[in-house]
Every structure is written in structure tokens, then in C-alpha cells.
């Protein structure tokens, strides 16, 4: 495994994040809580779907190439950076 995604919660409330496992079958695609101001890292090797929910029916996601950082500011404000 040589790649990764960094997922940052830049909001003032916890958010749940999901990273698909298309490129890494052994990985988990469960929803994980990321506290406000925190970050988490997922090991993957290629394009993956990264999605967010705030615990209700509101969800948003992006399809992202490996070795990117996805910043969650709000359910309608996701930013992808190198």
C-alpha cells in the first residue's frame, strides 16, 4: 500500500466520513466519526469515493484520486487539495 487519503474535519461539529475500498479490498468502508478540527488517514492505492454525513439524511461526496486531502468545511463545502 503506497497511497493514502487524508480527511480533515474543518467544521465546528463532528462529521461521519466514509472512504470506499475499490483499490484496497482489505480496507474498511464503514462510516467513521471525525471530531471537529481533527483528521484521519485511509490507506488506498487509486481513485475512491469519499463521502460525509452529519447523521441525518444529508450526504455529500467526491470521487478523488489517491494522495489527496479532502477538507470538510460543511455538507455543501468540500475542498480537495494536494
Which has the closest alpha carbon to 42: 53, 58, 31? 31
Question: Among 3.90.1530, 3.60.110, 2.60.40, 1.10.10, what is the CATH number of 4-81?
Answer: 2.60.40
Entry pTM: 0.93
Residues ≥6 apart with Cβ < 8 Å to 52:
15, 16, 17, 18, 59, 60, 61, 72, 75, 78
Q: What is the pLDDT of residue 74?
A: 97
Q: Would you state the pLDDT for residue 1?
A: 65
The residue extents of the domains of the chain are: 4-81
pLDDT tens, N- to C-terminus, the chain (82 residues): 689 999 999 999 999 999 999 999 999 999 999 999 999 999 999 999 999 999 888 999 999 999 999 999 999 999 999 9
All residues at 6 or more sequence positions from 56 whose CB lies less than 8 Å from its CB, including other chains: none
Amino acid at each position: 500500500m503506497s497511497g493514502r487519503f487524508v480527511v480533515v474535519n474543518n467544521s465546528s461539529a463532528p462529521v461521519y466520513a466514509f472512504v470506499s475500498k475499490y483499490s484496497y479490498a482489505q480496507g474498511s468502508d464503514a462510516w467513521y466519526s471525525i471530531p471537529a478540527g481533527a483528521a484521519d488517514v485511509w490507506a488506498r492505492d487509486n481513485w475512491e469515493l469519499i463521502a460525509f454525513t452529519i447523521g441525518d439524511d444529508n450526504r455529500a461526496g467526491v470521487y478523488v484520486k489517491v494522495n489527496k486531502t479532502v477538507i470538510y468545511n460543511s455538507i455543501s463545502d468540500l475542498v480537495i487539495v494536494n
